[in-house]
Structures are given as structure tokens and as C-alpha cells.
Amino acid sequence: MAKEMIAMLLAGGQGSRLYALTQKLAKPAVPFGGKYRIIDFPLSNCVNSGIDTVGILTQYQPMVLNEYIGNGQPWDLDRLYGGVHVLPPYQQASGSDWYKGTANAIYQNIPFIERYDPEYVIILSGDQICKQDYSDFLRFHKEKNAEFSVAVMEVPWEEASRFGLMVADGNDKITEFQEKPKNPKSNLASMGIYIFNWDILRKYLIEDEADPNSENDFGNNIIPNLLKDGRNMYAYHFDGYWKDVGTISSLWEANMEVLDPEHSGINLFDENWKIYSRNSGMTGHKISHTGVVENSMITDGCRIDGHVKHSILFAGVKVEEGADVEDAVIMGGSVIKAGAVVKHCIVAENVVIGKNAVVGAMPSGAEKGVATIGSGIQIGDGAKIGPNAMINKNVEGGEEQW
């Protein structure tokens, strides 16, 4: 039976600006918000929107992501017909190819899409934190009788030139596309989420592949080609929470915003739009007699004997007595030893911060750096890590890094 709409999730990005965090895993697998990974958001959105078939296009460091997705059961995407499928590049009779660009990644998986004979295909991005109802987006797409729709966000005019911008008329019909222009004509930024009529997408993917000069990219090639041909293209306005967490500071900021859902707009506590994730299976968290927790989010398996303020702790984090954690994102399994001071920073998974070590610093003046410690790193006793440091090698006791 044909599916009305299936999703293709672009998850091959290296996330090079997250450097220390993406040495061993792809950006969509980066942990977020206490018990999630970034990819939980688009996957949960799919399920909550009624999409039961998702192809995940992986390329860079796929192991963690593959293992995490598994059979898709945590997202209720283990289906007899459809469900979640990880689609890495593969060898074909005619040779093998890495995914050359976003459009090429979809092009190489045309046979996968055709198995489901969909009317529409939604292209999603695996590096955004966003709660969005794709079924409302599809309703818009159908109402406009569109061949292509793109989800857009209004951004402040002064920042507009950082984005790919859609210029649209009063009826939301797209008339022009500007990629990071110097003189923006619009403040409608593309979120990188598209709905295509499958016959149109298929046609343009095949044409694009045949063009030797193409970069095989949606933003640079497919969308301009659609415009050139005067296709029915519409901009769907989204005004909920949306964040591209491509940099250390935006990832840190998005985590901090989780602590303040009343103002930031990212509410993980919504019973009607749950974000699903693979569970740690650990027992509840424990705060001891000496532990103090203020304005923070704590999950299963944490043991808190020290002071935790305005921070997010992932599963199984230990904060020993006398340790001081503030404005920090501490990912799963990390240990903050006695007397350590950990501030305004991101600590990846399974890190050990030695006794009395200092990591990061609260912002002062123009200095707002978010110190970052890569996964599995050991920071020796009494070591000092400055607020702009990005650590992906063990640091000996007493050493300083800035």
C-alpha cells in the first residue's frame, strides 16, 4: 500500500564546529537536554505527526548513531511495513559513492523511497532542536496545491544575512531564494525542512545528478532549479522553538534554555508532544545530605553529593562532595570529583574531572567562552581548564590549558 508521506532525515553531517564533541560521533547523535540526543527531536516529531516511515541518511562516524537507532523501537518506529531505516552509502554494480551532497544522498536512495510509493516526501535535518507538527506543514502544502514547500522562521533583519532566505509574496508563494545574501530582501530563513511532491523531487534529483557542475545540494542546486522553472513553491511559517545547535555556544545555550521553558519556548514537559529516547535503565537519582541542587535538571542514575546550580546532568553523572557545578552541561557517566569547580561549560560523556580541578569560568565582561571537554577525557587533580579551551586529550594533574 502506498504511504502518503515518508521522511528522509539528513544525518550525515560531521558537525565540525562542535569539534571535541563530534570526534567519535555524528552531530545528530550529540546528547542534548539531559536524556536525549539531537536526533530524538526529528524522530519524535515524525511519530507524533503520524509519519511511520523514516530513512536516516548517515555517512560520518555512524556507529554510535546506528547503535542508538537500533530497530527504532524507542520511537515506536519498529514497523512491519515502514519504520526507521538507517541508509548509509553503499557499493553498487556501477561503483560506489559517498554521498556527494544532500541531494545526492536522497538521489542514491530513490529505490528506498519508491518501495513506499509516497505522494509526498519530507526532508528533515538531523541537527536542529525543534518541536514541529509536520502534519500541519503537510496540510499547508496541500492547501496551497504546492509542489515544494519549505518551513521558514522569521529572523531579526540584522541577522538575516547569515541564513538562506525565502522571498515570498502575500500568498506565501516563493518568488526568490537568497543564500546568505549581503542585502537581504526578506527575513524568512529556511529551516532546511522541505516537503516535496515525490514525482517533482524525483525528476529534479535525476536532472541534478546528470548535471556535472552541480554540487548536488538542496539549497544551492535543487531549490534554484525549481525557482527557475516557476514551480509552485510556498513558504510555511513556523513560529515555535527552533535552534540550530551547530556550534558549542548555541548547543550550550539551547541546553540552558531547557531549564527555562516558561521563557525560552522549548518545553520538554509537554505530555501531548513527548520526545522519545533510548532509556538509560538506571535507577532514580539520589541527592545526599550534603548535596544541593538549584534550578537544574537531573535524570536517572545521578548521585549528587556536591553543589549543582543551573545545570543539566545526564544519566549516571556523579558530583562528589564539595564539588561546585554551575551553568554546566554534564553528559552521561561523567564524574566530577571532590572539590572540583565546573562552570559555564560542556563536559561530554564519561569524562573524569579530578579533585579540585577547575573547568571553565563564569562569563566576565567580553569573556563568554564555553569550555568543552571531549568524551572519555581525564582531567587530572588540580588541573585548570580555561573558558575557551576545547579539550580532546587527557590533561595531567596540575596542568593548565587555556
Partner 1 sequence: MVNSNADALGIIFPNSYDSLVPELVSERLMASIPFAGRYRMVDFILSSMVNCGIDNISIIVRENYHSLMDHLGSGREWDLARKNGGLNIFPPFAEKGIKVYTGRVEALASVLPFLREQKEKYVVMADTNIAANFDFKALIEAHVKSSADVTAVYAEEKIPESARKTDVVKDLYYTLNIDNGRVKKIYMNSQKEGIQNYSMNVYVIDRELLIDQIHTAFVRGYAYFERDILAPQLEKLNVRAYKYDRYFARINDMKSYFDENMKLLDDKNLDALFEGNPIYTKIRDDNPTRYINGAKGKNVLVADGCVIEGEVENCILFRGVKIAKGAKVKNCVLMQDTVVEEGARLEYVITDKNVTITVGKELYGTDSFQVYVAKYQTV
Nearer to partner 1, 19 or 276 (CB): 276
Q: How far is the CB of 318 from partner 1 (least distance, A)?
A: 11
Angle (nearest 5°) at CA 42 between 39 and 48: 130
Partners of residue 188 on adjacent β-strands = 154
CB 5 within 8 A of CB 122: yes
Q: Which grid coordinates belong to 325?
A: 557545578
Write down the least CB distance from residue 186 to partner 1, Å: 36
Q: Which helix (H) or strand (E) holds 163?
A: none
Q: What is the smallest separation between the CB atom of 312 and partner 1, expressed in angstroms?
A: 8
Question: Between 34 and 387, whose beta carbon lies closer to partner 1?
Answer: 34
Minimum distance of partner 1 from residue 285's CB (angstroms): 6
Least distance to partner 1 from the beta carbon of 30, Å?
17
Instruction: Pick the closer one to partner 1 by CB: 231 or 309.
Output: 309
Q: Strand 378-379 vs strand 352-353: parallel, antiparallel, or unpaired?
A: parallel
Shortest Å distance, C-beta 302 to partner 1: 9
Can you tell me the distance from the alpha carbon of 190 to that of 154, in angstroms, rounded to the nearest whole number?
9
Q: Which of 48, 45, 372, 51 is nearest to 241 (CA)?
A: 45
**Of residues 35 and 344, the one with the C-beta less far from partner 1:** 35
Residues that bind partner 1 (CB under 8 A): 33-35, 73-74, 259, 268-269, 274-277, 279, 281-289, 291-300, 303, 312-313
For 387, residues 6+ apart whose C-beta sits below 8 A from its C-beta are 344, 345, 360, 361, 363, 367, 368, 369, 370, 371
Q: For partner 1, which is the closer residue by CB, 74 or 369?
A: 74
Nearest to 197 by CA among 1, 6, 11: 6
Minimum distance of partner 1 from residue 6's CB (angstroms): 24
Q: Shortest distance, CB of residue 122 to partner 1, whole angstroms?
A: 23
- CB under 8 Å to 116, separation ≥6 — which residues? 2, 3, 6, 53, 82
Smaller CB separation from partner 1, 202 or 303 = 303
Give the residue from 323, 153, 334 showing the smallest Cα distance to 238: 153
* Minimum separation from the CB atom of position 317 to partner 1 (A): 11
Cα(146)–Cα(173) distance, rounded to whole angstroms?
Answer: 9
For residues 83 and 88, which CB has a smaller minimum distance to partner 1 in the complex? 83
Closest C-alpha to 218, from 79, 96, 124: 124
Q: Which is nearer to partner 1, 15 or 34 (CB)?
A: 34
Q: How many CB atoms lie within 10 A of CB 82?
A: 17
Residue pair 195/216 in contact by the 8 Å Cβ criterion: no
Nearest to 256 by CA among 387, 133, 129, 392: 129
Which is closer to partner 1, CB of 122 or CB of 313?
Answer: 313
